Structure 1
Amino acid sequence: MTPEANSLTGTDDPTLGPPPGCPAHCSPPDGRRRLYGPEAEDLGAVYEKLRAEHGSVAPALLHDDVPIWVVLGHGENLHMVSTPSQYSRDTRLWNKLQDGTFKPDNPLMPHIAWQPICCHAEGDEHLRLRGAVTGAMSTINFRGIRRSINRYTQQLVNEFCEEGEADLVSQFAEHLPMAVMCEILGMPEEYNDRIVHAARDMLKGTETAIASNAYIMEALTGLTSRRRAHPQDDFTSHLINHPARLNDEEVSQHLRVVLIAAYEATTNLLANVLRVVLTNPGFRAQLKGGQMTVPEAVEQSLWDEPPFSTQLAYFAKQDTELGGQRIRKGDGLLFGIAPGNVDPRVRPDLTANMQGNRSHLAFGGGPHECPGQDTGRAIADVGVDALLARLPDIQLNCEEHELRWRSSISTRHLVELPVRFEPKEKEKLEPRPLGRPVPAQREGGKATPPSPKSEAAAPARSASASAEPPARPGLLRRVLLWMSGR
């Protein structure tokens, strides 16, 4: 594969030379280190230099030399994301946006531009929007979803199993999350190569990214209209029917956040887990020998190579102090997921197995903790397990040092993962079950009773399915526990 063209924040094209007078190739002001450009081709090394120079919170520069704090310490990151009285995700509070230092044409503007979504909301509005999202998430039938993940895995493997070789990034990791998320949202018919390409195009920031975003929003807006008129038993219908009463724009914008965030995070997670399985003999031996399960392997990957390296951004609501640094009201702070995960105070030995330890920062924390983490884990757990069961002799088809990455300030994405195996015959696939209708708009927090016709048309769940306990504590319960101070 060739390097990605017009990458929003990428650093993977060594052929591009600096334009005359390019600020990225001049000495940065105040001796701060840049988190972009040639200096930041290895951001992991930059973070460690910043840690050595400044400690757990360090001054740095974003694109166009916009100042920001980067939070490197594990404890400092947890404090920041868990203290909404001091730090907010409302980008309108950023002093560099207010005074014009961060300009509208900054390539990071898509990450910063304020939207009326729960990610940027606070207080009662955050509770309303977030409550609708987590409420809809709580309706997901994980037994059925895990069956779907296995079915889509078999479908994807069928497409290359007879060849004896494949690229597990472009032919597997970039497709499985989108197929599953389209089913969860209630648009399985929308899953195809075009929507996968559009999602990847948006995230790369190419010259066609705006058109790709428009295509995805058109699909989600149409889905919102269809489900408003004809609800089904899917995430979108439950989001619409939630007592928070989101309007159509709020519904479609939240669908976009859920779809794209889940897609990017899970694509990276799948690729990273498979890379470690294929390149680390000890890791694979532990899986085969039963000393480690696939879910435990996923958690180890979330420590070592989190799907998002950092997150833009949190903003100080008042003058405060963090990690020994004086933080002024309106200052921006980068949530340092990857550097926080390797904080020597919590991981003095980076080679040590983190089995059973879920205190990594991969899914954030506090009121903005990722609401879809259980879905992402399920896709990685079932997908990797099913792939390895189907192709037990799979091997990396290149040297490990030949693997290439596309890096940005927010992610480190594996470009390709070529593999080889003994050709296998295609397997017969389990048919996809049809969706079920659900009651129309709720009134006063209670579902309107279904009509006799729709009730008769909807197949009843088996007693075993309705009584099945969730695989993990419900996310909504965890959010409520956190809010109550537990």
Structure 2
Amino acid sequence: MTTHSPDRQAFTRSAPVRLWEDGFAQDPYRYYDELRAQGPVGWAELAPGVPAYVVTERRAALDLLHDTETFSHDPRPWESTVADDSPVLGMMRWRPNTLFADGAAHVRYRSTLIDTFDRIEPHDLRARVHRAVRVLVGRMGPKGEADLVGEFARPLMALVFNNLFGLPDSQSDRLDGALGKMMEGGAEAAEGEAEFGGYVLELIGAKAERRGDDLPSWLLDHPAGLTPEEVTWQVFLTLGAGHEPTANLVSNALSRILGNPLYYSTLTSGARPVTDAVVEVLHHETPLANYGIHYARNPVSFHGTWIRAAVPVVVSYGALAHFAEQEVTSGRHPKDASHLSWSAGPHACPVRQHTLLIATEAIERLTQWLPDLEPVLPRARLTWRPGPFHRSLTSLPVRFSPRSPDQPGVPS
């Protein structure tokens, strides 16, 4: 990357765009427009007093994601500048796992995840999803109404991931609650981080004493020789990254499907695959809206902005999707229509196929069980959970004809 001394204009910044405000959750696009008005890299706050650069232009994002010499994933220099009670630390604090590592350490951690998830056969993962859907439909089906966020998408991920990680269904609510608090980055973020950390520590402690046919046990026995502490933080990452964004992917897709009756009918009739709806969300309403966090190793000029060292540089996948959609709507087709929801470069998501399978199977199975789902509210009246990192519905109320799992004609 070409660097040079900053000129006077490079130091001039607008007031930071406050991504922690309540208004951001309901209308993030106004905030993205404010950021883009500053150029390819805007100036924002992730929490009160926690500034960050936010990349809103595709070329700049790709340059950042591929430039491992200029930028690092290690947050420790930044972490030393942040108050201990900062609500975003739960999502950004350094831990010895693949997300916060560079170079050889990153390759080592990443290889263990790829190898471990490769042991999960697609038919096995599909069966786990089907089982979880059956459990949840058994709870909500007879009522004829449900919240597809609180009663389906989020508990579904807790059931599936607990099953993969060797924990009983009874622990699902505990996992879901802890992750929800941590992800929102609000007043309860530290409590959620502590609860989730305790959850993972108990899990690894149990697996260290007695192995099972599950992901933590495979990580503990991987030839890379991870220590129990390293396995703990690999599991901390994969449980969090698997549960929360995938739950949002499912609920965001369902809200878009149900908000368009014609679209919904093509899916339930089989004329159009559910995969189309899931990919549409990844293009236009990505569930992990702002993350991919990097830190400049040294001060550097980057796409017209002087980047200070030890200040977060965030990729706004939500903004990239927003501006790509604007180009399509206005008749200007982007040069590259592919989305970056899986990130790019050496830190791109290593388990995207597993995520897609879980999301598509969950939606397909749900609509087979309950084919006449009808939204209670128009999509414009739905509300969104606060937090700078995600695009996550608060609830998705629906009604349908009551149905029970033992009723004739339901899926097996």
The superposition leaves residues 316-351 of structure 1 with CA deviations (integer Å, 9 ceiling, x where unpaired) of 12343333323344443111110012334x861149
- Matches of 2:121 and 2:386, distance apart in 1: 35
Secondary structure of the 1:409 match is coil
Secondary structure of the 1:326 match is strand
The one of 55, 61, 64 aligned to 1:77: 61
2:128 alignment partner in structure 1: 148
The 5-angstrom pairing of residues 362-373 of structure 1 reads 362-373=341-352
Q: Structure 1 residues 244 and 328 mapped into 2: Cα distance closer, same or farther (>3 Å)?
A: same
Q: Structure 1 residues 246 and 412 mapped into 2: Cα distance closer, same or farther (>3 Å)?
A: same
Q: In the alignment, is the contact (CA less than 8 A) between 1:174 and 1:196 conserved in 2?
A: yes
The RMSD of aligned alpha carbons is: 2.7
- Matches of 2:89 and 2:196, distance apart in 1: 19
The 5-angstrom pairing of residues 71-470 of structure 1 reads 71-94=55-78, 97=79, 100=81, 102-204=82-184, 210=190, 212-288=192-268, 290-311=270-291, 313-344=293-324, 348-350=327-329, 359-427=338-406
Q: Structure 1 residues 224 and 64 mapped into 2: Cα distance closer, same or farther (>3 Å)?
A: closer
Q: In the alignment, is the contact (CA less than 8 A) between 1:70 and 1:334 conserved in 2?
A: yes
Q: In the alignment, is the contact (CA less than 8 A) between 1:140 and 1:234 conserved in 2?
A: no
Q: In the alignment, is the contact (CA less than 8 A) between 1:185 and 1:235 conserved in 2?
A: yes
The one of 37, 44, 51 aligned to 1:67: 51
Secondary structure of the 2:86 match is coil
- Measure how far apart 1:204 and its partner are: 3.8
Q: In the alignment, is the contact (CA less than 8 A) between 1:177 and 1:263 conserved in 2?
A: yes
Q: What amino acid does structure 2 have at the position aligned with 1:92?
A: R
Q: Structure 1 residues 38 and 239 mapped into 2: Cα distance closer, same or farther (>3 Å)?
A: closer
Secondary structure of the 2:201 match is helix
Q: In the alignment, is the contact (CA less than 8 A) between 1:152 and 1:176 conserved in 2?
A: yes
- Matches of 1:418 and 1:323, distance apart in 2: 43
The superposition leaves residues 258-298 of structure 1 with CA deviations (integer Å, 9 ceiling, x where unpaired) of 11121110111111011011101232233245453111210
- Matches of 1:182 and 1:397, distance apart in 2: 31
Q: Structure 1 residues 74 and 229 mapped into 2: Cα distance closer, same or farther (>3 Å)?
A: same
- Matches of 2:190 and 2:308, distance apart in 1: 35
The superposition leaves residues 415-472 of structure 1 with CA deviations (integer Å, 9 ceiling, x where unpaired) of 11111111113238xxxxxxxxxxxxxxxxxxxxxxxxxxxxxxxxxxxxxxxxxxxx
Q: In the alignment, is the contact (CA less than 8 A) between 1:93 and 1:317 conserved in 2?
A: no
Q: What amino acid does structure 1 have at the position aligned with 2:267?
A: L
Matched, 1:43 2:28: yes
Q: What amino acid does structure 2 have at the position aligned with 1:271?
A: S
Q: In the alignment, is the contact (CA less than 8 A) between 1:164 and 1:422 conserved in 2?
A: yes
Q: Structure 1 residues 212 and 36 mapped into 2: Cα distance closer, same or farther (>3 Å)?
A: closer
Q: What amino acid does structure 2 have at the position aligned with 1:50?
A: L
Q: Structure 1 residues 242 and 32 mapped into 2: Cα distance closer, same or farther (>3 Å)?
A: same
Structure 1: state its 5+ residue gaps.
1-28, 429-486
Secondary structure of the 2:301 match is strand
Q: What amino acid does structure 2 have at the position aligned with 1:378?
A: L
Q: Structure 1 residues 294 and 123 mapped into 2: Cα distance closer, same or farther (>3 Å)?
A: same
- Matches of 1:46 and 1:206, distance apart in 2: 19
- Matches of 1:38 and 1:274, distance apart in 2: 24
- Matches of 2:202 and 2:16, distance apart in 1: 47
- Matches of 1:399 and 1:40, distance apart in 2: 20
Q: Structure 1 residues 359 and 67 mapped into 2: Cα distance closer, same or farther (>3 Å)?
A: same
The one of 15, 37, 54 aligned to 1:31: 15
Q: What amino acid does structure 2 have at the position aligned with 1:87?
A: F
Count of residue pairs brought into register by the alignment: 392
- Matches of 2:190 and 2:24, distance apart in 1: 26
- Matches of 1:284 and 1:186, distance apart in 2: 35
Q: In the alignment, is the contact (CA less than 8 A) between 1:404 and 1:415 conserved in 2?
A: yes
Q: In the alignment, is the contact (CA less than 8 A) between 2:97 and 2:230 conserved in 1?
A: yes
- Measure how far apart 1:212 and its partner are: 4.7
Highest Rg: 1 or 2? 1
- Measure how far apart 1:247 and its partner are: 1.1
Q: Structure 1 residues 210 and 40 mapped into 2: Cα distance closer, same or farther (>3 Å)?
A: closer
Q: In the alignment, is the contact (CA less than 8 A) between 2:14 and 2:38 conserved in 1?
A: no
Q: Structure 1 residues 144 and 114 mapped into 2: Cα distance closer, same or farther (>3 Å)?
A: same
1:458 alignment partner in structure 2: none
1:57 alignment partner in structure 2: 41
Identity of aligned residues (%): 29
TM-score (norm 1): 0.74
Q: In the alignment, is the contact (CA less than 8 A) between 2:41 and 2:57 conserved in 1?
A: yes
Secondary structure of the 1:140 match is coil
- Measure how far apart 1:210 and its partner are: 4.7
Q: In the alignment, is the contact (CA less than 8 A) between 1:74 and 1:343 conserved in 2?
A: no
- Measure how far apart 1:72 and its partner are: 0.2
- More helix, by proportion: 2
